[in-house]
Amino acid sequence: MILKRIKVNAGAVGETNCYIVQCEETKETMVIDPGGDVDKILEMLNTLQGTVKYILLTHCHGDHMAGVNGLKEKVGGKVLIHRNDEPGLKNPLVNLAEYVDLGTVIVEADSRLDDNDLIHVGNIEFKVIHTPGHTSGGICLYSEKEKLLFSGDTLFRGSWGRTDLPTSNFIDIINSITEKLMILPEETIVYPGHRKINNDKGRGAYLFRIKSKRLLEVRSVKCEV
């Protein structure tokens, strides 16, 4: 497998991690979260000389999808997103592209994903893990063979995505992380939507902090009731 990370300019958010995955044998290619800088992404695709099969979005926020239309016009590929986030591709109040100075961004999905769907890029298989919390339709993409996870804005290095945005929910994201991601093998390398790649062995410490914060949050909710 060939894997490239491109840091793209995504307006007021700063940089978003866009990933290009290519099967070495078949040259089939997938682009994950093209949030901007289409020319930079195209330059890498031209170097790899593959065929773009999919443009996959981990969620519907503008800083992850602002480059979709320009990229698809040049190289094709089917746009994939979880069905819960598909409406947000056409709703500026949900995708927040204008809020982060990316202008109005409207994207059409070609296919809608569900939990446990399998995506094949050449000989590489990825499993869709529905991880609501940052958005209601946020997903992560896991390859057991390659021992890696594309976590979008669900899980960062030592933290997680914001939960004060449209369709987001704090309890959901903590449950997604603890019940769906932290059960993955310890050697799994996490490629997040922002910030640095997590390839160390310290995720157990993150789990402790996440569980502790969830416990505090639950206690707080009970006290308010």
CATH number, residue 74: 3.60.15.10
* Model confidence at 221: pLDDT above 60: no
Q: What percent of the chain has pLDDT over 70?
A: 88
Q: What is the pLDDT of residue 12?
A: 86
Structure tokens at 137: 């339709």
The CB density around residue 186, as the number of other CB atoms within 10 Å, is 10
* Spatial strand order in the sheet of 139-143: 118-121, 124-130, 139-143, 148-152, 189-192
Find all residues with CB under 8 Å of 93, minimum gap 6, and list them: 166
* Band of residue 216 on the pLDDT scale cut at 50, 70, 90: very low
| C-alpha span between 79 and 116 (Å, rounded) | 18
pTM of the model: 0.88
* Model confidence at 210: pLDDT above 80: no
| C-alpha span between 201 and 205 (Å, rounded) | 9
Q: Which of 189 and 200 is assigned the larger pLDDT?
A: 189
C-beta separation of 133 from 59 below 8 A: no
The boundaries of the domain holding residue 41 are: 2-224
Only one residue has tokens 């497998």, namely 1
* Model confidence at 9: pLDDT above 60: yes
Mean pLDDT for 133-161 is 94
Structure tokens at 86: 């598909």
| C-alpha span between 42 and 60 (Å, rounded) | 21
DSSP-assigned letter for residue 134: S
C-beta separation of 152 from 199 below 8 A: no
pLDDT digits (tens, 9 = 90+) for 61-99: 999 999 999 999 999 999 999 999 999 999 999 999 999
Q: What percent of the chain has pLDDT over 90?
A: 80
Structure tokens at 14: 């700063």
HSE value, Cβ hemisphere, 13 Å, CA-based, for 208: 4
- Tell me how many domains the chain contains: 1
DSSP-assigned letter for residue 198: B
* Model confidence at 206: pLDDT above 90: no
Q: Which of 198 and 128 is assigned the larger pLDDT?
A: 128
Mean pLDDT for 208-221 is 45
DSSP-assigned letter for residue 159: S
Structure tokens at 80: 């994939």
DSSP-assigned letter for residue 72: H
Mean pLDDT for 154-178 is 92
